[in-house]
Structure 1
Amino acid sequence: MPPRLPTPPTGWPISSYGTYEEAQRAVDYLADGDFPVEEVTIVGVDLMLVERVTGRLSWGRVVGTGAASGAWFGLFVGVLLSLFNSQSSGYGPILVGLITGVVFGVVFAAVGYGSTRGKRDFQSASQLVAGRYDILCQPRSAEKGRDLLAKLAMRPGERKE
């Protein structure tokens, strides 16, 4: 069972990869080889926060996005209200929820964007990425794991970085 509190990983390094996908493929290879993978840990080293800019922000885009997200939430609340309200029939609660959601979505998005005062006129997506991914293994199985991963590295078409 993994520890509940953050603790440094333990074990011996048995391989290192340039991408998480390669490290994941290596652990999958170990699992296919009946290796005790519960003794393995993938550790991201040299962590970086990568923020990829996805587009420019404008008042029109902010208001449109706020209206759309508010509409979805309002529609959800309206449907819930109509399901649990036996006195009202038809689309009244759904329509009220939708309109209220749009109004609040626009207001909250506009206030949030206006508070930046033009200092962040772009959208982005952040991701935590490692410079390399080490595979650690408990000492009792490290040699077997290293041998298996050496065979993986020697297979044609699959390269280890």
Structure 2
Amino acid sequence: MAEIFSLKFPQSLGVYDHYADAQKAVDFLSDEGFPVQNVLIVGTDLKQVERVTGRLTTPRVLAAGAASGAWLGLLVGLLLGIFAKGGAYFATVLTGILLGVLFGAVWALIGYLATRGQRDFSSITKVVPGRYEVLTEHNLLAQGQELLAKLPVKPADL
């Protein structure tokens, strides 16, 4: 699988500030008959970005834990409900949900209290490239450069 994401002797056709520009360059090469199966778009200058989504409070932690536990309890209740006799199916599912809510809330609260206020916010993280480099095999470099010279969107300066 790793072979599909590598070239034997890669050479740079250009570096672009935006993925859309790198994609446009490769699409142009494809339209011109260039063997694009020998091209990679590589994100470079990686940075991790963390977006803070809100403040964590005890009620918010309890609510999130209860909601998560409810889903788990629903799943367990449905699975156990399959084996329930007579009219006990709905009671089994409801019991699973209620126990899941309780378990999820308590477990989330324990995790939150264990941090001792060192991280009182929620966030999501993403790794974002700063630039996108278009690479090709060394023996195709001159042909690729000649074709890309006709493209209106030029690579960023190195």
Task: Quickly name the TM-score band, shorter chain normalised.
Answer: 0.7 to 0.9
Sequence identity percentage:
45
Task: Report what 2:85 is aligned to.
Answer: 87
Indicate how the Cα distance of structure 1 residues 101 and 43 shifts in structure 2: closer, same or farther if over 3 A, else same: same
- Compute the displacement of 1:8 (Å): 9.3
Amino acid in structure 2 at the alignment position of 1:112: G
Return the alpha-carbon distance in structure 1 between the equivalents of residues 107 and 149 of structure 2. Answer: 55
Indicate how the Cα distance of structure 1 residues 29 and 114 shifts in structure 2: closer, same or farther if over 3 A, else same: farther
Question: Any stretches of 5+ residues in structure 2 without a counterpart?
Answer: none
- Mapped contact 1:53–1:124 kept (Cα < 8 A): yes
- Compute the displacement of 1:138 (Å): 0.8
Return the alpha-carbon distance in structure 1 between the equivalents of residues 150 and 67 of structure 2. Answer: 52
- Mapped contact 1:9–1:43 kept (Cα < 8 A): no
Amino acid in structure 2 at the alignment position of 1:2: A
Task: Report what 2:59 is aligned to.
Answer: 60
- Compute the displacement of 1:75 (Å): 1.0
Deviation digits for residues 115-144 of structure 1, max 9, x if unmatched?
A: 111111111111111221111111122233
Identify which range, 134-143 or 113-122, moves more after superposition.
134-143
1:2 to 2:2 alignment: yes
Task: Report what 1:47 is aligned to.
Answer: 46
Return the alpha-carbon distance in structure 2 between the equivalents of residues 58 and 75 of structure 1. Answer: 26
Is the partner of 1:3 in helix, strand or coil?
helix
TM-score, with normalisation over the residues of structure 1? 0.80
State the superposition RMSD in angstroms: 2.6
Indicate how the Cα distance of structure 1 residues 104 and 147 shifts in structure 2: closer, same or farther if over 3 A, else same: farther
Aligned 1:96-107 pairs, distance under 5 A:
96-107=95-106
Amino acid in structure 2 at the alignment position of 1:103: L
- Mapped contact 1:66–1:105 kept (Cα < 8 A): yes
- Mapped contact 1:47–1:128 kept (Cα < 8 A): yes
Q: How many residues align?
A: 155
Is the partner of 1:140 in helix, strand or coil?
helix
Return the alpha-carbon distance in structure 2 between the equivalents of residues 35 and 8 of structure 1. Answer: 16
Return the alpha-carbon distance in structure 2 between the equivalents of residues 118 and 9 of structure 1. Answer: 51
Indicate how the Cα distance of structure 1 residues 39 and 68 shifts in structure 2: closer, same or farther if over 3 A, else same: same
- Compute the displacement of 1:95 (Å): 0.8
Return the alpha-carbon distance in structure 2 between the equivalents of residues 52 and 9 of structure 1. Answer: 38
Question: Any stretches of 5+ residues in structure 1 without a counterpart?
Answer: none
- Compute the displacement of 1:48 (Å): 0.9
